[in-house]
Amino acid sequence: MRRSPSLLARLTGAVAGAVLAAAAALAVAAPAQAASLTQVTGFGSNPGNLAMYAYRPDNLPANAPAVVLLHGCTQNAAGYFANSGWQKYADQWKFALIVPEQKSANNANSCFNWFETGDTARGQGEALSIKQMVDHARSSYGTAANRVYVSGLSAGGAMSAVMLAAYPDVFAGGSVIAGIPYRCATGMVNAFSCMSPGVDKTPAQWGDLVRNAHAGYSGSRPKVAIWHGTGDYTVAVANATESRDQWTNVLGVSQTPTSTAQLPAGTSLEVYGNGAVRLYRVSGMGHGTPVDPGSGAEQCGSTAAYFLDTICSTHRDAVFFGLDGGGTDPTPTSPTPTPTATPTTPPTCVTASNYAHVTAGRAYHSGGYAYANGSNQRMGLYNTFNTTTLQQTAPNHWVIGC
């Protein structure tokens, strides 16, 4: 049974992932190629009652990759396709785009229902509808079964996490932009607290939620990129750290980064394990998809409401997914510093209460929690009882662990 729009309006008005795109921004000039975003019908039983749109670049080869794009609340497929920059790289590197669209009949503000258990479980609701779109692309367009990826913003970012958790046998990787960990909420009652201030669970607790989404699955797990602006007051920044905890635990790697780097637009990159989990924090950015309009190789997208001019996250994700034939981040351009080299002297490490860390200027507190300066990693409750070890990796930049 579909949810009542009047009930959902209570949630989407404050929005779990509310992303507002002005109608004027949805209009986009016709692409130079004949290919265009096209609605697809008859792609499956569609239990989630979603619409499907697809983009196939001219001369798309057989066994090409496919990327699923999930818009935010009040957005639609055309708007996200137009502004996110994905068309540029689909044309350049020849991969298909699958763009699901929510309907207002399902949700008053056209948000994907990331907080409804019936839409976030394997084989049900909206999650199954999206999976059926992938199946349709494979059978109709000849896309590769083992090179499917997903990316989404806010409510769409939370839904990206749903697809990675429920269908690890379908998706090889994904990107969660200003999103929320899988199964943080199981209804409207707790969706607001997931948005802000966020829910604090152990990595194992978060990981179990993902493992239970496809019980008994023992195959490979998708790689995950997480993006969040440090000035995001719609979906709390703490969600980035909780998402990091979830996916590092699922992939069996430490929550301490193996390397860090400084990228353009005040973006910090934390790499975990063998690189399968990456966390990008965009300094000062609010709630939205990071874009960087321009004609440069690493530039993409258009600025609009909740498409924020900082760094081209789409380029970074496309390269991370290996859509360019590689799979490593491009070298930061001068004068951006290159990744921090391994120190030749022992690192500065301090173990103290979270209260003491804040008092000493190694951390700050917000919403009752302590966060490490520079990395913004959540340390736990801000009090004298919680103890954390912090390592200094740069001036006024601290990370958890030593």
The Cβ-side half-sphere exposure at 281, using a 13 Å CA radius, reads 24
CB 182 within 8 A of CB 233: no
Report CA torsion sign: 13, 18, 22, 23.
negative
Q: Decide: residue 215, CB within 10 A, 0-12 exposed, 13-18 middle, 19+ buried.
A: exposed
C-alpha to C-alpha distance for 120 and 183, rounded to whole angstroms = 8
What does the DSSP assignment read for 38-103? EEE--SS--TT--EEEEE--TTPPTT--EEEEE--BT--HHHHHHHHSHHHHHHHHT-EEEEEE--
For this structure, is 154 an active site residue?
yes
208 three-state secondary structure: helix
Q: Catalytic residue among 110, 154, 160, 375, which?
A: 154
Which two three-digit tokens encode residue 130? 């999206």
Active-site positions read 154
